[in-house]
Structure 1
């Protein structure tokens, strides 16, 4: 026995205990995956069964931030994409939103189906990037449509490992149209232009953000006469940071997404709407007993002189005053005061003299 005293170190004891616990958990996961022999590996080469450790801890603190105005932008994007893709394909196009969610950027790349065409877009005004992922079903459907494929026949290229240069160029046209529509969708909030920087087929080369960074994933379904598929728009929160305050606002019907054609139609219909205008010669308060005692031939005195202006009312609100007169065989009122109209305009009353 040595004469040196043993000093207890609580930090070292806790560190050794945590390392032992992690090692035991890892051994159990590996042992559970061995009998089946089908342990799945992600695109980063990490076994899926081993991601429940540190990834679970990281994702436990992941709280998605609600951006109300972003939903309005995506709804506007659907309308713009429908019109733009109809011009591109000369075919019937239906675009709908499948889902809008917050994801980890690395988790999205891991779950991406292959082969997919990944368009890396650059937002010049925000000096950042976004991803537009065209899934294989949609990519081959677009190629068939642009090359004049028969309608109603699904594409038969899904089993191929990748895309040719011609197919990539054709899908690039689709990506360009969607990015142009995306810039127009953001226009009511901020002026931004998205341009295609490059197209990747390997998710490892599409890393525009850290794997743990939060991002918004908007998934759209594009149907072209019984052919189509999904396209994913991935925008990191760092890209949206310049307009984050605007996206946090709640949409209450202001100018965002206004439809000028509908506004003009509504204004024209309102101007043609018929309303009743009353010319009030006089008013007097009476008791209910006096009103119930009315008899034919009874004279009611209102205390109004002949030259006293009368009141014009519409919908219970006073809209002006005027003088009673005659125009032909009809009673008329000449407007004497009205802030929004020129004095001297005559309003004819219903009925004849």
Structure 2
């Protein structure tokens, strides 16, 4: 009996402690699960009202990225991400004078190409658009010839692209091809030296006409630099830079092709203020009738002439002591020349005399601009 009682007394407290530990662990697990459920049910509050999150469906995602069948729509302006990217471009429509310059180029080029080819030539503008330079290089249809030119006064470059149809048409016309027949096209071969030389002559004609088209706005000379057949060697600007593209359609009877003129906006930056002008007409704002009228009215404007006999410098105290009857002696003798002034400008030298019982001045000498300004400084 004495041996079992202590054993029983030792085991009972151990079982009680183990049960209490299990119960406490179970309560902790229940509390943790309850806290997790509360967190999931009630998120952490934020400042302001929380709007429910809207999930885009697949059609809306395709429309945003421009992958849908209706991308571009009827407005032709693209959709989604294309519009976001295009927002960074500068539209050529913000430069009103640029359209007038290109319209003038078409008229001049039509006459020049008729003399150049001795054939009937019609030049028209197919499209004027703004795009990124890298996108344009990737869209050039090959084979083509890319001519790099430099605007010397603006210290920047431009690009003229002649497509294969126009190349073969020009070669056929200049080398005496029969009229009324389409030009023969041989694809898959490099351009010959004769073809490159004739295209270079065509580009020089376009450069001269482009310089003449810009002449009323700003004198500039476009100089041909080099001829390339690979767009990678015609990088005159960064791929992300904006540029303006003009597509010109050149038709010669049943032959013809397309000539594309690319001008980066960095090239047009020196004359940007002039291109922003509006309603200037073909003469770019110059009105000869108004100039003639203004010149006639200025010639009829009345001005006052002062005859200066002499000028002296006196102390203020001497001026204050002057009384009625005092005399001021002039430092000029009889017959000395006098100056005629308009305001502060000396214009003439003359002699004082009398005519018909009136004092008169006879002009003897017309003062030059330097003498007049020197005389005004001496008088001052």
TM-score by length of 2: 0.52
**Structure 1's 107 and 158: CA in aligned 2 closer, same or farther, altered over 3 A?**
farther
- Residue in structure 2 matching 1:180, options 177, 200, 208: 208
2:137 aligned with 1:109: yes
Aligned to 2:220: 192
Please, which runs of 5 or more residues in structure 2 have no aligned partner?
A: 1-60, 68-78, 290-380
Aligned to 1:313: none
SS in 2 for 1:125: coil
Partner Cα separation in structure 2 for residue 147 and residue 257 of structure 1: 44
Aligned to 1:82: 110
Aligned to 2:120: 92
2:216 aligned with 1:167: no
Aligned to 1:61: 88
Aligned to 2:184: 156
Partner Cα separation in structure 1 for residue 284 and residue 261 of structure 2: 21
SS in 1 for 2:271: helix
Aligned to 1:245: 273
Partner Cα separation in structure 1 for residue 182 and residue 273 of structure 2: 44
SS in 2 for 1:256: coil
**Structure 1's 210 and 54: CA in aligned 2 closer, same or farther, altered over 3 A?**
farther
Partner Cα separation in structure 1 for residue 90 and residue 171 of structure 2: 39
Aligned to 1:202: 230
Partner Cα separation in structure 2 for residue 75 and residue 230 of structure 1: 16
**Which structure has the greater CA radius of gyration?**
2
How many pairs are equivalent? Answer: 212
Aligned to 1:226: 254
Partner Cα separation in structure 2 for residue 154 and residue 166 of structure 1: 19
Relative to total residues, which structure has the larger helix share, 1 or 2? 2
Render the CA deviation track for 1:218-259: whole Å, top value 9, x for unaligned: 11001111110100000000000000011011133362399x
Q: 1:215, 1:235 within 8 Å by CA — same for their partners in 2?
A: yes
Partner Cα separation in structure 1 for residue 201 and residue 90 of structure 2: 36
Aligned to 1:121: 149
Q: 1:162: Cα distance to partner?
A: 2.8
Render the CA deviation track for 1:195-225: whole Å, top value 9, x for unaligned: 1000000000000000010001011001111
SS in 1 for 2:191: coil
Q: 1:169: Cα distance to partner?
A: 0.3
Partner Cα separation in structure 2 for residue 186 and residue 63 of structure 1: 21
Partner Cα separation in structure 2 for residue 83 and residue 132 of structure 1: 19
- Residue in structure 2 matching 1:213, options 226, 241, 266: 241
Partner Cα separation in structure 2 for residue 83 and residue 213 of structure 1: 34
CA RMSD, Structure 1 to Structure 2 (Å): 2.7
TM-score by length of 1: 0.56
Partner Cα separation in structure 1 for residue 282 and residue 102 of structure 2: 16
Aligned to 1:339: none
SS in 2 for 1:152: coil
Q: 2:100, 2:282 within 8 Å by CA — same for their partners in 1?
A: no
Q: 1:56: Cα distance to partner?
A: 8.0
Render the CA deviation track for 1:143-193: whole Å, top value 9, x for unaligned: 000011111111121523331111010111110000100000000000000
Q: 2:248, 2:259 within 8 Å by CA — same for their partners in 1?
A: yes
**Structure 1's 71 and 154: CA in aligned 2 closer, same or farther, altered over 3 A?**
same
